[in-house]
Chains A and B, each alone.
Chain A
Amino acid sequence: MITKLFRKSFITAYRIAAVISLYGLLIGIGAYAAVMALYSTNRSWIVPVLISPSNDRVLTLTAQIVASQQSLNSLILSTKNLRDAREEMGRRRALLEYLLEQLDKAATRQRADNAVSGTQLTRLAQQKHADVSATQTLLADIDHSAQEVDRNLKAGLITRFDALQQQTALAQFRNAYTDAQISEVVLKDSARQKLSTDLSVVETMSKVIAIKSELAQLELTIRTGDETIASNLAQIANIQRAIQATRDNPYFVAAQAQRATEFAFVSYDNRSVIAPDAPVYDCVLSFVACRRVGSVGRVFSEEERAINPIFKTDTRGTFIQLSLTDGEAIKSKTLFVGRKPLLF
C-alpha cells in the first residue's frame, strides 16, 4: 500500500516536473531563438563596461601619459635653452660683425693716413739727408777750430776756462750732427713703415680673420641650433597631438576620474544610432520590459575590440561614455540606445 502510494506520488511529481521542464525547455528555445533573431537584426544594442582607475589599461595609459609629459617638458625646456643660447649667439654675432666693420674702417683709414704721412716723411727724410750732408762739410771746420783752440790755450791766448767753453760748443755741434743723422734714419724708417705693409697691418688682418672665423663658427652653431629647435618643435607638436589623442580615450577619462566610470562598447554596425545625449534603455532578459536608465555622454573614436556578449564573437567598435541615472544598469549584459528594441 505504501509502495503504491509512493509510486503514485512519485509519478504525479514526475509528470508535474516533466511538464514544467518541457515547457521550460520550449520557453528556453523560444527565448534563445528570439534573442538570436533580435540581436542579429537590432542595431541599437551596446555593451556596458565599468572602467575603474585601477584597470590595467588605465594604469598603462597613465604611465604612458606621464612618460610623454616628461618627454614634452624636457623638450620644451631644452628648446627654451636653445632659443636663449640662439639669442645670445645672435647678439654676439651682431657685435662681432660691428667690430669687424669698425676694424675694417680703421684699417682703411690708417692705410690712407699712412700713405699721406709716408709721403711727407719721405720728403722730409730727403730734406734731412740734404741737411746732414751740408752739416758734414762743416765738420772739417770744426776739427780745425778745435786745433786752433788748443793752440790758443797753449799759447796762453785764452784761458783754460775759455778753451773749455769753446771745446764744449764744438762737441755739441758734433752731437747735433750725430742726432741729425739719427733723425734722418728714423725719418726714413718712419716713411718706410708708412708706405709699406708692416707688422701692425698684419696684426690687423689677423684680427679680422679671427673675427670672421669666429663669426663663421657662430653662424654654424646658430644654424645647428635653429635646426634643433625646429626638430624639437616638431617633436613637441607630435607629443602634444599624441597626448591630445590620448585625452580622447575612455581609459584617459577613467584615469582622470576618482571612481569607476561607466562606458559602453558599440560595435561598428551599431554606430549609426549613437549620438551624445541619446537615451539609454535597460531591458529584462536583455530584450523586454525596457526602461530608461540614462543617456549617452562622450563618444570616442578610438577602435576597441570586445567579445559580443550574445554571439561570443570577436567584435570591433568604439566606446561611448554613459551617464547612468541607475547605476545597477551597468551590470546588464546589454543596453539599448535611442529606442526600446521591441517598443515595450
Chain B
Amino acid sequence: MNAVPSIVVLLSVLVLAVRYVWGSILKWHHPQLHTVHKNYSLQPTCSVLLPVFMEGPGVYDTIRSIRESDYPTDRLEIIAIDDASSDNSYQHMRRAAQDFPNVRVHRNAENLGKNRTVLKALKLSQAEMVISIDSDTVFAPNTVTELMACFADAKMGAVGGVVGIRNPNDNAITKFQTVQYFLAYHLGKIPENFTKTVGCISGCLFAIRRRVYLEIEPKMAARHFFGIPTSQGEDRRATHEVVLRGYHTYVNLDAQCWTLVPNTLTAYLRQQLRWRQSSLHDFFYTIRTLPLHVRMPFNVLYVFFLLPLTTYLALFRIAGGLIENPLWWMDPRPLSVYMLMSILVCFAIRKRNPEQAIQNPLALAMFGAFWIVSSVFITILASWTLDSSEWGTRVSTLEPAQEEDTVAEEEAA
C-alpha cells in the first residue's frame, strides 16, 4: 500500500518526461523524427463536414475561410448541417451557400448531437477525404492543402492541425486557454507524432480518409455507456478507432486553424467536463480492449492508457496532498513554476503566432490553481456523469423544430 504514492509519482514523472522532455528533444534536435513526408501535388477530393449548433453569424465566417483556401475549388466541398439550432445559424449557413461555391447546407429536424450530425454529413459526401470541423473554426489559406499533403503516406488514416485561439485576449480565461492549446500542440503532440499514433485529433480540424471513416462509422454510431448513447469525445474516439485499425494518425503543425474558446467560467467548465468525460470514456474503452493495444507500437499504451490515467493520478496526488496538508494548494512554488512556463510560452506564441499574442501574460496567474479544480472537481464530476450526452460548450435552448430533416439544400452553381 505504501508503494502506491511512489508509483503515482513515478508514472506522473514518466508522463511529464515523455510529454515535455522527450517532446522538446524531438522538436528541437530531431525534427525529422516527428514529421511525415508531404506531397502537395496529391490534391484528393475533399469534403469539409460542418456540424452547426447555435453558432449564429460565426458560421458564415467559418465557411468563408474554408472557401478562401488555396486548395482547388472543384476538389473541395463544404457540407454544413444545422443540428436544430434555435438561433439564426441556419440563415447564415444559407447565406454562405449563396455567396460561395460548393457549399451544401442541411438542417436536422431535431437535435441529434454532434456525432450523429457529422456521420450524417459523412453519408452525404463522396470525396476521398473528409475534414470534420467545428462550426466556429476558421481556416488559414493553406490549411486544407497542408492536411491533404500528409495523405501521401498510404497508411495515413487521419490528420489534424494546430488549433489556435480566435479570441485570446477576451479575458484571463481565454489567455489561459491560448497557452494551454499552444503548449499542447507544439510540445504535447510531438511524442505522439513520433510514432504517428496521435491519441486525439481535435474535432476542430479532423481530416480523415472517407473510407476509413466509413470503416469506423458503425463503431462511432454505436457508442454507448451501458446502453445510453454517448456523444462526447467523438474526435478522440474516432482517432482511437483509426489507430486500432493500424492506420497512422498525425498532427501537421503547419496546418493552422483558429477557433473560439469559451470566455466565461461556466462555459469553460462545461467544455472541460465534456472533454474529461470523453477522456474517461476512452480510457475505459482502452482498458476494455487492452489486448488490442498491447500489440500496437509502444507509444499507443502511452497515448491511450498512461495519458488518460494521469487524470486519476492527479486526483490521487491532490487528495494525498490535501490529506497530508490541507493548505497544500497554497504552496506558491507550483504557481511560480506555472507562471514562469506561461511567460515562456507567451514569448513563443508572440514569435510563432503573433495573431494570438497575449497582452499582459501575468493575468494568467489566477488560473495557476485551475489544475487543482480541474483535477479534483471536474474529474470526479466527469467520472459520475459518463451517462450524460449533451453538446457541452453551448447550452441547448432548443425550441421545437419547425422544419423537417434536410428541408433545404443549397448548392452553389
Q: Which A residues fall within an 8 A CB radius of B?
A: 4, 7-8, 10-11, 14-15, 17-18, 21-22, 25, 32, 35-36, 310-313
Measured between beta carbons, the chain A residues less than 8 angstroms from B387 are 11, 14-15
Q: 11 additional contacts, CB 8 Å, given A11-B225, A14-B384?
A: A11-B226, A11-B228, A11-B387, A15-B387, A17-B384, A18-B384, A32-B326, A36-B326, A311-B326, A312-B325, A312-B327
B324:A21 contact, CB within 8 angstroms:
no
Partner of A22, one of B322, B380, B386: B380
Among B226, B227, B228, B386, find the residue whose CB has the most chain A CB atoms closer than 10 A. B226
Known: A311-B326, A312-B325, A312-B326. A21 touches B227 (CB 8 A): no
Q: How far is the CB of B60 from chain A (nearest CB, A)?
A: 40
Within 8 Å by CB of A4, from B227, B380, B381, B385, lies B227
CA distance A25 to B326 in the complex (A): 15
30 contacts between A and B (CB under 8 A): A4-B227, A7-B226, A7-B227, A8-B227, A10-B226, A11-B227, A11-B228, A11-B387, A14-B384, A14-B386, A15-B387, A17-B384, A18-B384, A18-B385, A21-B380, A21-B384, A22-B380, A22-B381, A22-B384, A25-B380, A32-B326, A35-B326, A36-B326, A310-B326, A311-B325, A311-B326, A311-B327, A312-B325, A312-B328, A313-B327
Closest partner residue, chain A, to B330 (CB atom): A311
**Chain A residues, CB < 8 A from B377:** 25
Q: Mask for B226-268, Cβ within 8 A of A = 1, else 0?
A: 1110000000000000000000000000000000000000000
Q: Please give the distance in Å from B369's CB to the nearest CB on chain A.
A: 15
Chain A residues with CB under 8 Å of B228's CB are 11
Q: How far is the CA of A35 from the CA of B325 in the complex (A)?
A: 13
Sort A-B residue pairs by CB-CB distance and give the 9 closest, nearest first.
Answer: A18-B384, A7-B227, A312-B325, A7-B226, A10-B226, A11-B226, A311-B327, A21-B384, A22-B384
Q: Report how far A11 CA is from B389 CA in the complex, Å.
A: 14
- Determine the chain B residues whose CB is within 8 A of the CB of A15 once the complex forms: 387
- Collect the chain B residues with CB atoms within 8 Å of residue A11's CB: 225-228, 387
A162 to B387, CA, bound (A): 180
Q: How far is the CA of A311 from the CA of B325 in the complex (A)?
A: 6
A18 proximity list for chain B (CB < 8 A): 384-385
Residue of A nearest to B324 (CB): A312
Q: How far is the CA of A11 from the CA of B325 in the complex (A)?
A: 36
Residue of A whose beta carbon sits closest to that of B228: A11
CA distance A35 to B327 in the complex (A): 12
By a CB distance below 8 angstroms, the chain A residues around B380 are 21-22, 25
Q: Mark B363-377, 1 if CB is under 8 A from A, else 0.
A: 000000000000001
Residue of A nearest to B224 (CB): A7
Interface flags for B296-325 (1: CB within 8 Å of A; 0: not) read 000000000000000000000000001011
Binding site for A on B (CB under 8 A): 225-228, 322, 324-328, 377, 380-381, 384-387
- Complex CA gap A131/B384 in Å reads 155
CA distance A120 to B250 in the complex (A): 148
Closest to A6 in B: B226
Which partner residue on chain B sits nearest A21 by CB separation? Answer: B384
Task: Please report the C-alpha to C-alpha distance between residue A14 and residue B284 in the assembled complex, in whole angstroms.
Answer: 15
Query: Which residue of chain A has the shortest Cβ distance to B384 in the bound complex?
Result: A18
For B225, list chain A residues within 8 Å (CB).
11
Instruction: Name the B residues within 8 Å of A35 (CB-CB).
Output: 326
Q: Which residues of A contact B384 (CB under 8 A)?
A: 14, 17-18, 21-22
- B384 CB, min distance to chain A CBs, angstroms: 4
Q: Which residue of chain A lies nearest to B325 when distances are taken between CB atoms in the complex?
A: A312
Distance in Å: Cβ of B327 to nearest Cβ of chain A = 5
Closest chain-B Cβ to A68's Cβ sits at a distance in Å of 39
Q: How far is the CB of A286 from chain B (nearest CB, A)?
A: 12
How close is A115's CB to chain B, nearest CB, in angstroms?
A: 105
A149 to chain B, nearest CB (A): 146
A32→B274 CA distance, assembly (Å): 27
A14 to B228, CA, bound (A): 12
Q: What are the residues of chain B within 8 A of A310 when measuring CB–CB?
A: 326
In the complex, what residues of A have CB within 8 A of residue B325's CB?
311-312
Across the interface, which residues of B come within 8 angstroms of A311, CB to CB? Answer: 325-327
- A32–B326 CA distance with the chains assembled, in angstroms: 8
- Would you give the shortest CB distance from B395 to chain A, in whole angstroms? 20
Report Cα–Cα, A35/B323, bound state, in Å.
13
Residues of A within 8 A of B322 (CB): 32
> Most chain-B Cβ atoms within 10 A of its Cβ — which of A15, A310, A311, A312?
A312
User: Of all chain A residues, which has the CB nearest B381?
Assistant: A22
Q: Could you say which residues of chain A place their CB within 8 Å of the CB of B227?
A: 4, 7-8, 11
Chain B residues contacting A10 (CB-CB under 8 Å) are 226
User: Which of B226, B324, B326, B327 makes the CB contact (< 8 A) with A14?
Assistant: B226
Q: Closest Cβ of chain A: how far from B360's Cβ, in Å?
A: 31
Q: B37 → chain A, closest Cβ, in Å?
A: 46
Distance (Å) between the CB of B351 and the closest chain A CB?
41
The smallest C-beta distance from B385 to any residue of chain A, in angstroms, reads 7
Q: How far is the CA of A83 from the CA of B328 in the complex (A)?
A: 65
Shortest distance in angstroms between A208's beta carbon and chain B's nearest beta carbon?
A: 86
Q: A32's closest neighbor in chain B, by CB?
A: B326
The chain B residue sitting closest to A8, CB to CB, is B227
Residues of A within 8 Å of B386, CB to CB, are: 14
Residues of A within 8 A of B385 (CB): 18
Complex: chain A residue closest to B328, CB-CB: A312
Identify the closest chain B residue to A18 (Cβ). Answer: B384
User: Considering only CB atoms, which chain A residue lies closest to B387 in the complex?
Assistant: A11
A15 shortest CB reach to chain B, Å: 7
Closest to B225 in A: A11
CA distance A22 to B385 in the complex (A): 10
Task: Give the nearest-CB partner of B380 in chain A.
Answer: A25
Q: Within 8 Å CB of B327, what residues of A?
A: 311-313
Minimum CB–CB distance for B24 against chain A, Å: 35
Q: Kindly name the residue among A14, A17, A311 whose own CB sees the greatest number of chain B CB atoms within 10 A.
A: A14
Q: Which residues of A contact B326 (CB under 8 A)?
A: 32, 35-36, 310-312
Docked Cα-Cα span, A10 to B325, in Å, equals 36
A137→B249 CA distance, assembly (Å) = 169
